[in-house]
Structure 1
Amino acid sequence: MRVGIVILPEDRWWAAEPKWRAAEEYGFDHAWTYDHLGWRNLVDGPWFSAVPTLTAAAMVTSRIRLGTFVASPVARHPVPFMRELTTLDDISDGRFVLGVGAGVDHQHYDGAVLGAPELTAKQRADRFTEFVEALDGLLMTDKFDFDGEYYRAREARNLPGTVQRPRLPFVVAANGPRTMTLAARFGAGWVTTGRGGKTEDE
Structure 2
Amino acid sequence: MTSSRRLSTVILPVHRWNDGGRALWTRAEELGFHAAYTYDHLAWRTFRDGPWFGAVPTLTAAACATERLRLGTLVTSPNFRHPVTLAKDLISLDDVSGGRVTLGIGAGGNGFDATTLLRRGEEPWTPRERADHFDEFVPLLDQLLREPSVTHEGRFYAANEARNIPGCVQRPRLPFAVAATGPRGLELAARYGQAWVTTGDPKLYEAGTPEQSVAALRGQISRLGEAGEAVGRDVSDLDKILLTGFTPDRPLQSLDAFVDFAGTHFALGFTEIVLHWPIPDSDFAADGAVFERIATEALSQLG
TM-score category of the 2 structures, normalised to the smaller one = over 0.9
TM alignment of 1:134-145, pairs within 5 A: 134-145=140-151
How many residues are aligned here? 197
Per-residue deviation, 1:147:
1.7
Q: Structure 1 length as normaliser, TM-score?
A: 0.94
- The answer as to 2:32 corresponding to 1:12 is no
| One-letter identity of the residue aligned with 1:162 | C
| One-letter identity of the residue aligned with 2:98 | D
Question: Any idea what the Cα deviations from partners look like across 1:45-83, whole Å, max 9, x if unmatched?
Answer: 101000000000000100010001101101111111111
Preserved contact between residue 151 and residue 161 of structure 2 (Cα < 8 Å) = yes
- The answer as to 2:7 corresponding to 1:3 is yes
Candidates 68, 81, 100, aligned match of 1:76? 81
Deviates most, 115-124 or 162-171: 115-124
Unaligned residue ranges in structure 1 (runs of 5+)? none
Question: Using the alignment, how far apart are the partners of 2:49 and 2:161 within structure 1?
Answer: 41
- The answer as to 2:121 corresponding to 1:118 is no
Candidates 171, 176, 182, aligned match of 2:177? 171
Question: Using the alignment, how far apart are the partners of 1:121 and 1:37 within structure 2?
Answer: 19
Unaligned residue ranges in structure 2 (runs of 5+)? 204-215, 221-303
SS at structure 1 position matched to 2:62:
helix
Question: Using the alignment, how far apart are the partners of 2:155 and 2:7 within structure 1?
Answer: 38
Preserved contact between residue 34 and residue 70 of structure 2 (Cα < 8 Å) = yes
Preserved contact between residue 40 and residue 76 of structure 2 (Cα < 8 Å) = yes
SS at structure 1 position matched to 2:75:
coil
- The answer as to 2:58 corresponding to 1:53 is yes
Q: Structure 2 length as normaliser, TM-score?
A: 0.63
Candidates 100, 103, 116, aligned match of 1:98? 103
Per-residue deviation, 1:145:
1.4
Question: Using the alignment, how far apart are the partners of 1:189 and 1:92 within structure 2?
Answer: 20
Q: Which residue of 2 aligns with 1:148?
A: 154
Bigger Rg over Cα: 2
Question: Using the alignment, how far apart are the partners of 2:52 and 2:125 within structure 1?
Answer: 26
Preserved contact between residue 114 and residue 125 of structure 2 (Cα < 8 Å) = no
Higher helix share: 2
Candidates 151, 165, 182, aligned match of 1:159? 165
SS at structure 2 position matched to 1:70:
strand
Question: Using the alignment, how far apart are the partners of 1:120 and 1:35 within structure 2?
Answer: 20
Question: Using the alignment, how far apart are the partners of 1:90 and 1:19 within structure 2?
Answer: 22
% identity of equivalent residues: 55
Moved >6 Å (runs of 4+): none
Per-residue deviation, 1:112:
1.7
